[in-house]
Amino acid sequence: MVHFSELGLVNTKNIFKKAMEGKYAIPAYNFNNMEQLQAIITGCKETNSSVILQVSSGARKYANQTLLRYMAEGAVQMAKEMGGNFPVALHLDHGDTFELAKSCIDTGFSSVMIDASHHPYEENIKLTKQVVEYAKENDVSVEAELGILAGIEDDVEAAKSIYTDPEQVEDFVTKTGVDSLAISIGTSHGAYKFKPEQCSKNEKGVLVPPPLRFDILEEIEKRLPGFPIVLHGASSVVPKYVDTINRNGGQLKAAVGIPEDQLRRAAASAVCKVNIDSDGRLAVTALIRQVLSDKPAEFDPRKYLGPARAELIELIKHKNVNVLGSANQA
């Protein structure tokens, strides 16, 4: 058993409270390798932002749970060596079983999500409560989900969205004791968040997705005043990265994300955690493809992973400053 405090990590309770008071959102960046982790820590140090390092079940398997523990500890020490003094949490994204959540808690995670939203309502409550009871013994934060997001992210896949029912939120939070709640108001997982027929086009012919359901968010805020809300599937699917990928042999067609102005509006509300995964993947992939296209004889991984890391740092700084409002709030 390794407690998260031994690794220098924090749970999300205090950083969420501060974010809600300051009307900004904490960035939750997914990572799969060392370069992404370095970029997240560097970008958050340079903007003085709290951060949630987010790992899916698939990413945990990819990295190895023991190595991941030391990567998280190393990330905290790296931040300190750079002169940073900002809170860092380690979060399980879309955990789907009690056993997985428990394993993560036992190996140093400071926050876990139990996503039982695909189960019937009462089963969602039962499984979530089981995770909460174990997590509270170790001061670990728990996030759950009501409603279903469409799209694909690792092992999480849904054909269509089911909006969160505001009439369920009070009962769910009371019966489970969760610390935060992920809701469905129109965001989606992956780079293909919307079908072209769901979108309109602007004057430049660019696809524009339907607006988020802020009416649902506002009703949930009324029913759960001061309670931390989470947005999943909140990548903007940055057009320049999609264009770079497609120019260099990629095939990302009709990839559309969530407009940044809508995310900023959400971050100024009860939404105090915003999950960003696809944008990081796109930034890294775009730069790798560009370097290998420009320099086809290159075979040193540092020569293409380095530029990818640098681009991801800039993306993270942009998100923290201009989208989430978390810069200089740590």
Core vs surface per residue 234-254: b (16+ CB within 10 A) or e: bbbbbeebbebbeebebebee
| Cβ-contact 154, 59 below 8 angstroms | yes
Q: CA 303 to CA 79: how far, in whole Å? A: 24
Token reading at 297: 């004889």
> Nearest to residue 93, comparing CAs of 187, 189, 160, 16?
189
Token reading at 101: 């959540």
Q: What own/partner pairs with CB < 8 Å and gap ≥ 24 does 245-249 have?
A: 245/282, 245/285, 245/286, 245/289, 247/293, 248/286, 248/289, 248/290, 248/292, 248/293, 249/289, 249/293
> Nearest to residue 113, comparing CAs of 145, 77, 75, 71?
145
- Active-site residue set: 93
**139 Cβ contact list (under 8 Å, min separation 6):** 11
As a whole number of Å, the end-to-end CA separation of the chain is: 29
Give helix 166-176 / helix 121-136 axis angle, nearest 10°. Answer: 40
